[in-house]
Amino acid sequence: MTTVAVAACGALMVAGVLLLVAGLRRRPPGPASLRERRSLRERWARATRRPPGGAGRRRDRLLLLGAGLGVLAFAVTGIPLTLLLVPVAVVGLPWLLADPVNGELELLRALDRWVRAMTATLQTGQSVADALRSSVRQAPDLLVEDLRLVAARLNDRWTVREALLAMADSLDSPDADAVLAAMVLAAERGGTGVATTLRELSESTQDRLRSMREVEVERAKPRIVVRQVTVITVTVLAVALVVVRDFFAPYATPLGQALLAGLLAAYAGSLVWMRRLTTPRPRDRILRPEVQR
């Protein structure tokens, strides 16, 4: 089995070098080859659920690295299951152990910056509609497109209430609903109380931000512990592959491979469960379309 595995590794290395040399050669692609390449790329993206852009390229590089490490692990241990498990681990572990992106926190941070800018603008004597139009130039990137739509709708004779409620539907966030509902009430109130209302809204938004950051810190603690345990475990197993190869001999049998698959599946399931527990649950919106009508 070891001789066959070494021969397979050698053949794969030679094939990799040949493919690398062939890929480095410059050839003017014809229309047929471009269509074929695009078709293969689309089929690969559909079959593997490849994310678009740079994330997809990083995923493909990780998959290629995992395939190489899987062949190496199979050559060392003689366990056929490593040809599948190692690539899956190389691609899946970084995602399972990474901190999930908290979109609500990023959106609330952007809303806080926008409300503070609106407060400063309204203190100069502008109306709410004019302040909304001028806020597009200094808005956070996360809100630029929505605020451009608000300005366009105001120019099309939408009321401030209608434009802000449409923005709330676009953002689809309970935190955005709270901010925009207060903005609507301030706009309908009019007069000198608008800036005061927005100033109080900014203070409450900052309090909400502080509490969300504290919650995120607490949620990150179990992920850090599990990340450290996983790194230590993988390091010990990698050293054992080189130093004590006989330790993995029982896993080369069919029963051992079934046991190995069950243990790894249980560990992966615990990581998925941990990620789900530390991910914020979606909350119900305040401004619902049926209520708005």
Give the pLDDT confidence of 253-272 residue by residue, as tens digits: 888 888 888 888 888 888 88
Judge if 136 and 182 occupy the same domain: yes
Residue 190: predicted pLDDT:
64
CA 183/CA 193 separation, integer angstroms: 12
The structural domain count of the chain equals: 2
Q: Is 73 domain-assigned?
A: yes
Alpha helical stretches, state H, 98-192: 103-122, 128-134, 144-155, 160-171, 174-189
Contact yes or no for 136/144 (Cβ under 8 A): yes
- Residue at 172 is within a domain: yes
* CATH code of the domain covering residue 175: 1.20.81
State the DSSP code for 123: T
Q: Are residues 65 and 124 in the same domain?
A: no
Among the candidates 148, 170, 190, a domain finishes at 190
90 and 125 assigned to the same domain: no
Instruction: Compute and round to an integer the Cα radius of gyration of the chain.
Output: 28
Is residue 9 domain-resident?
no
pLDDT for residue 24 is more than 70: no
Residues 108 and 75 in one domain: no
pLDDT level of residue 52 (50, 70, 90 thresholds): low
Evaluate if residue 110 carries a pLDDT over 50: yes
pLDDT (average), residues 268-284 = 81
Residues 243 and 166 placed together within one structural domain of the fold: no
- Tell me the two tokens of residue 92: 């899946």
- Burial label for 139, CB within 10 Å (0-12, 13-18, 19+), is buried
The average confidence (pLDDT) of the chain is 76
Do 183 and 201 meet the contact criterion of CB atoms below 8 Å apart? yes
The tokens for 95 are: 């995602």
Which domain does 88 fall in, by range? 56-98+222-278
**pLDDT tens-digit series, residues 209-257:** 888 888 888 888 888 888 888 888 888 888 887 787 777 778 888 888 8
> Once rounded to an integer, what is the mean pLDDT over residues 271-289?
77
Predicted pLDDT of residue 272: 86
Same domain? 130 vs 161: yes
How sure is the predictor about 53, in pLDDT bands with cuts at 50, 70 and 90? Answer: low
Q: Are residues 94 and 116 in the same domain?
A: no
Per-residue confidence band for 21, with pLDDT thresholds at 50, 70 and 90: very low
Average pLDDT over residues 177-187: 81
Which residues fall within 8 angstroms of residue 14, CB to CB, at 6 or more apart? none
Rounded CA-CA distance 40/277 in Å is: 38
Structural domain ending residue among the three candidates 136, 168, 190: 190
Residue 14 has pLDDT above 50, yes or no: no
Shared domain for 152 and 226, answered yes or no, is no
Same domain, yes or no: 235 and 267: yes
Q: Is 142 part of a structural domain of the chain?
A: yes
- Same domain flag for 62 and 110: no
Query: 108 and 75 in one domain?
Result: no
Residue 253 maps to a domain: yes
Based on the fold, state whether residues 233 and 270 are members of the same structural domain. yes
